[in-house]
Structure 1
Amino acid sequence: MSNNYKGVLYAMITALLWGFLPIFLKVSLKDLDSISVVWFRFTFAFSILFIYYALSDKKQLKIIKKPPLILVIAALALGVNYLGFMQGINYTSPSNAQITMQTAPILLALVGIFFFKEKVNGKQLLGFGIAGLGLFLFYRNQLQAFIEDADAFNTGFFWIELGAIMWVLYASLQKQLVQKHPAQLLNMVLYGIPAILYTPFVDFSAFAGLDFSSWMIVIFLGLNTLIAYGCLALAFKYTEAYKVSLIVTVNPIITLITMAILASMNVQWIKTDSLSIYSMLGAALVIGGAITAVYFSRKNKKTPAENT
């Protein structure tokens, strides 16, 4: 498998996991506050990676003592991103949070083109345009709901946009870091720094009151962090940033389709959304645009890693 297709596959796994993420985050808020949930996600993922390196390659752990400055900045940005997205979900809904967060992959695509000087061709730009049109149609009705509840919109919008900007900063730095360091080693530090910073603000007593199903939810959130960001780091390593951003735009489609299915089942444990004909058409265009952009990507020359 070429590096390009590896990157695409890893980005697709990330998109799938992120599609289910906001739904589980919203449910977890019934038992825990935002900071406690964010802290658990970081701590769980850090612990798994720390144990892995402690058992398999202990010398790699020296990065903890003196991490690169841009890695520390990336970790701080990721910490703010997690809290911003979590607070956004707290004030709005999983669907609304996903809508607003799409600022992040769009900005990342621009960073990839203008900062990393990644090349694009006409057919890829067409795919990007199709995806943009799809996002407009898909989110049309949901954005109207924002306007009808100005207070929730303003608060949720602020937190999620802050998270989106911080995610772009994290992703841009991660793109550079994965060229020099193992992706999972970087992630260990990326999780560890925010975990330490959020520890003083955690409500540990709330964890003692969790039942079995609630523990399964928070453990899933921890695993989601570990796997999704592990795949994202590898996606950045193997393919272009703008391509990763296009694939990641599929994750809100997954969220809203899942919410529509839950609505048809009349579930009571989460407030559900429904899909209109415009949303379904938009979903098809977003996915079609992303596929077009990926399919017509330029074939890069093989890197030394590919020739070994």
Structure 2
Amino acid sequence: MNSIASASNYKGVLYAMVTAFLWGFLPIFLKVALKDIDPISIVWFRFSFAFLVLFIYYLITDRKQLNIIKRPPLLLIIAAIGLGVNYIGFLKGLNYTSPSNAQIIIQSGPIMLALAGVLFFKEKLNLKQMVGFGIAGIGLFLFYRTQLQTFIHDTDAFNLGFFWVELAAVTWVLYAVLQKKLVQQHPAQVLNMVLYGIPALIYTPMADFSAFQGLDFKTWAIVIFLGVNTLVAYGSIALAFKYTEAYKVSIIVTLNPIITLITMSILTYLQVSWIQPESMTLYSLIGAVLVIGGAVTAVFFSKAKKEKALAVQKEVSK
């Protein structure tokens, strides 16, 4: 039995790592795609691609699951709108700042989600979690102030980028809180199908379809990767919750900015021409470490009831 549990745990960790890597590389590919395609059109493609794959899958394997499209729950509609704003907010923020900056700023999302657990799910906040929140808050302030100084000639753009990414973080928390409630009543991938479909429908009138005409092979490959990223990352995290504890998944996924920071440092060192190099001071890096460390601390020392976590995992695995 122990070997089976161990194998299951490894599977969960592996799936969580897949999500972390995909989300770690995501802002870099988004930044490159923004050179040729506007933010709304990119978001429309990502949602449409992911929705169509899941729709076709259930059309072939289990058509009764498509009934949720006819009358989706109100909370699911609100969650979908929240996720739609999250995608466009993060992408617009990337327009004004760098991938690493966006990844550090967006870490306020997991922190706010933990606080939402206290407010909406009556989870108890312990001292170690409060220390984690404090560390992350200090780190975010230090990171913001230091990076703002590096953008001395374009502080308005940096502040606008900060605003959009923070909006993305807030709306992601709205989506996550509602998803946590909905997953107790519906299979996770069925919910994802609707969560992708509603924003795709909303953004269709605003998408510039002509932007996709004349794209070269490299850009098309990037755009398709962005669609696959949406589908695989959210699918992997659902499987991760199935095979291992929720707190382990949260910790692994929260570390995804490290992947972005390392990758961007390598690209800056190589002086590649296809993405703008990043500039980070020692204080910026200290702030980034504090943000990530504080977020991980807050997640790790969460003491929500184990039975509730297991119940959520069981529903996610359906």
> TM-score, structure 1 length as denominator?
0.84
1:300 and 2:306 matched: yes
Distance 1:12 1:116 in 2: 27
For residue 119 of structure 1, report the CA deviation from its aligned partner. Answer: 3.6
Cα distance, 1:143–1:17 mapped onto 2, change above 3 Å:
farther
Aligned match of 2:62 in 57, 74, 85? 57
Give the conservation status (yes or no) of the 8 Å contact 2:111–2:298.
no
1:214 aligned residue: 219
Distance 2:92 2:68 in 1: 31
Cα distance, 1:292–1:152 mapped onto 2, change above 3 Å:
closer
212-221 or 245-254, which deviates more: 245-254
Aligned match of 1:21 in 23, 26, 32? 26
For residue 252 of structure 1, report the CA deviation from its aligned partner. Answer: 2.2
2:194 aligned residue: 189
1:175 and 2:180 matched: yes
188-197 or 228-237, which deviates more: 228-237
Distance 1:12 1:195 in 2: 27
Give the conservation status (yes or no) of the 8 Å contact 2:105–2:162.
yes
2:166 aligned residue: 161
Gaps of 5+ in 1: none
Q: Give the aligned residue type for 1:67.
A: P
Distance 2:103 2:123 in 1: 26
2:96 aligned residue: 91
For residue 254 of structure 1, report the CA deviation from its aligned partner. Answer: 1.9
Give the conservation status (yes or no) of the 8 Å contact 1:178–1:233.
no
For residue 96 of structure 1, report the CA deviation from its aligned partner. Answer: 2.4
Give the conservation status (yes or no) of the 8 Å contact 2:140–2:291.
yes
Aligned match of 1:117 in 116, 119, 122? 122
- Residue deviations 1:139-168 (CA, integer Å, cap 9, x gap): 663243355522212322332222222111
Give the conservation status (yes or no) of the 8 Å contact 1:243–1:293.
no
For residue 297 of structure 1, report the CA deviation from its aligned partner. Answer: 5.4
Distance 1:113 1:63 in 2: 30
Aligned match of 2:37 in 8, 21, 32? 32
2:112 aligned residue: 107
- Residue deviations 1:186-211 (CA, integer Å, cap 9, x gap): 00000001111111122212212111
1:261 aligned residue: 266
2:204 aligned residue: 199
Aligned match of 2:154 in 139, 149, 164? 149
1:229 aligned residue: 234
Give the conservation status (yes or no) of the 8 Å contact 2:50–2:230.
yes
14-23 or 227-236, which deviates more: 227-236
Aligned-partner SS, 1:271: coil
For residue 131 of structure 1, report the CA deviation from its aligned partner. Answer: 5.1
Cα distance, 1:144–1:239 mapped onto 2, change above 3 Å:
farther
Cα distance, 1:253–1:134 mapped onto 2, change above 3 Å:
farther
Aligned-partner SS, 2:271: coil
38-47 or 245-254, which deviates more: 245-254
Give the aligned length: 305
Give the conservation status (yes or no) of the 8 Å contact 2:39–2:88.
yes
Superposed CA RMSD: 3.2
Distance 2:299 2:13 in 1: 8
Give the conservation status (yes or no) of the 8 Å contact 2:148–2:158.
no
123-132 or 265-274, which deviates more: 123-132
Distance 2:269 2:229 in 1: 26
For residue 98 of structure 1, report the CA deviation from its aligned partner. Answer: 2.1
Gaps of 5+ in 2: none
| Aligned residues with identical type, % of pairs | 70
For residue 101 of structure 1, report the CA deviation from its aligned partner. Answer: 2.1
Q: Give the aligned residue type for 1:263.
A: T
- Residue deviations 1:78-116 (CA, integer Å, cap 9, x gap): 111111111111122212222332232221111012321
Q: Give the aligned residue type for 1:191.
A: Y
Cα distance, 1:202–1:248 mapped onto 2, change above 3 Å:
same
Distance 1:15 1:120 in 2: 26
Distance 1:146 1:178 in 2: 42
